[in-house]
Amino acid sequence: MDNSVSLFVYIISDWLGLVSLASCIGVLVCLLWVLAPPRGDALSGLRSLLAGMWRLLGIAIAALFASNIIGLLVRAAEMSGKPFPGVLPVLPTVVFRTHLGHVWIIRMAALVVLSVTMVAARRSPRSLPSSYLMLGCALLLSATESASGHASDAGDFSVPEIMDWLHLLGPMVWGGGLLVLSAVILPRLVQEGDRAAGSMAGVAARFSRIAGVAVALIALTAVYQAWAYVSVEALVRSPYGRTLIAKVVLFSLLLGLGAFNRYIRVPRLQEWAGSATTRRGVLGRIVAPVLLPLARDARGPLVAKQFTRSVKCEACLLLAVLLCAALLRHEIPPRHAPHLEHDASVMPGPWRPNDGARLP
């Protein structure tokens, strides 16, 4: 397989894996903490929502299986220097004798447990033990992403690897929730109009709090990531730095849109539902007056439609951010380049000392 084609296939499969993993985590987070317990007539509507979320979870798990298998084949081809048909004989060596293979085994085991638990829990999709077990499997899957990336160069369970995992976990929770809200939950609630005002306001407020925690986690770990992998000079001179700039710009747009929803549209949804408005913290009292002139004077179902469209825009931006994250996994961080050049000089040949490709 041509190197450029191989890289393209790997990046797309990696991006598909990140999106699918975010969807899995988003479904489970929404099941546990975003959807309210049903009351009275809301039970039938909840069943419809759960059916849609369960379908999304099943599709995401299937996509994760496909992404991991394609990723292993491409990485084995890169590591062995063999074309695709000839890579099959070396797969046992890659799987059982490399760090990449060991991480892949853990990832597939977590996927199998996640799949079996999902099938077993279909009759009671809001079962807490099953949901927490599936969430644990999804978190383990996210940890294996860091264990096979640039951060794994520092060793398993090292500070860089843990920080990389936390930096990935923030977008997984926030972005996964956005995907579930925009694809399943909000369109169904909007169709019900005024009857779903309370549900819409509750879902928006609860998810807004979760997103706030995720954003704080992203911001804190981003400082460490920038210090560990990028210098100011390399930001514009290296492909890694330019991709990082694109990611920061997209994330800034996502953050601005999220802030507008949190401080403008969520309170208006609560007013529509006649529920208590969420108290604004110090940051909210500063940001809300700045954003208020940008808001249209909309009330009632119109606010719900605007909120739904805005969440869909956030979800699209999140997909672009995850694409940048997939690209970054295949670029060499500027501060890693010197030691990789040294490794290449002492270990020539097709076995590249790339992220996660440790050989015995």
Summarize pLDDT for 138-164 with one digit per residue, the tens: 999 999 998 887 777 777 888 889 999
Q: How confident is the model at residue 234 (pLDDT cuts 50, 70, 90)?
A: low
CA dihedral 227, 232, 234, 237 (to 10 degrees): 150
What is residue 88's predicted lDDT score, i.e. its pLDDT? Answer: 86
What is residue 284's predicted lDDT score, i.e. its pLDDT? Answer: 75
What DSSP line would sit under 109-129, residue for residue?
Answer: HHHHHHHHHHHHTTTSTT-HH
Q: How many CB atoms lie within 10 A of CB 99?
A: 16
Nearest Cα to Cα of residue 353 among 235, 5, 157, 338 = 338
Contact 325, 171 (CB under 8 A): yes
Give phi and psi for 327, each to the nearest 5: -65, -40
CA 64 to each of CA 88, 107, 182: distance values in angstroms, whole numbers, following the listed order: 21, 10, 20
What is residue 170's predicted lDDT score, i.e. its pLDDT? Answer: 93
Q: Across 15-19, 147-151, 338-342, which has the greatest mean pLDDT?
A: 15-19
- 357 has a pLDDT exceeding 50: no
The structure's pTM equals 0.88
Q: CA–CA separation, 293 vs 67, rounded Å?
A: 44
Q: How confident is the model at residue 301 (pLDDT cuts 50, 70, 90)?
A: confident
What is residue 178's predicted lDDT score, i.e. its pLDDT? Answer: 97
Identify the weakest region by mean pLDDT among 122-126, 213-217, 278-282, 322-326: 278-282
What is residue 329's predicted lDDT score, i.e. its pLDDT? Answer: 82
Percent of the chain topping pLDDT 70: 87
Average pLDDT value for residue range 61-88: 87
- 19 has a pLDDT exceeding 90: yes
Q: How many CA atoms lie within 13 A of 290 on its CB side?
A: 8
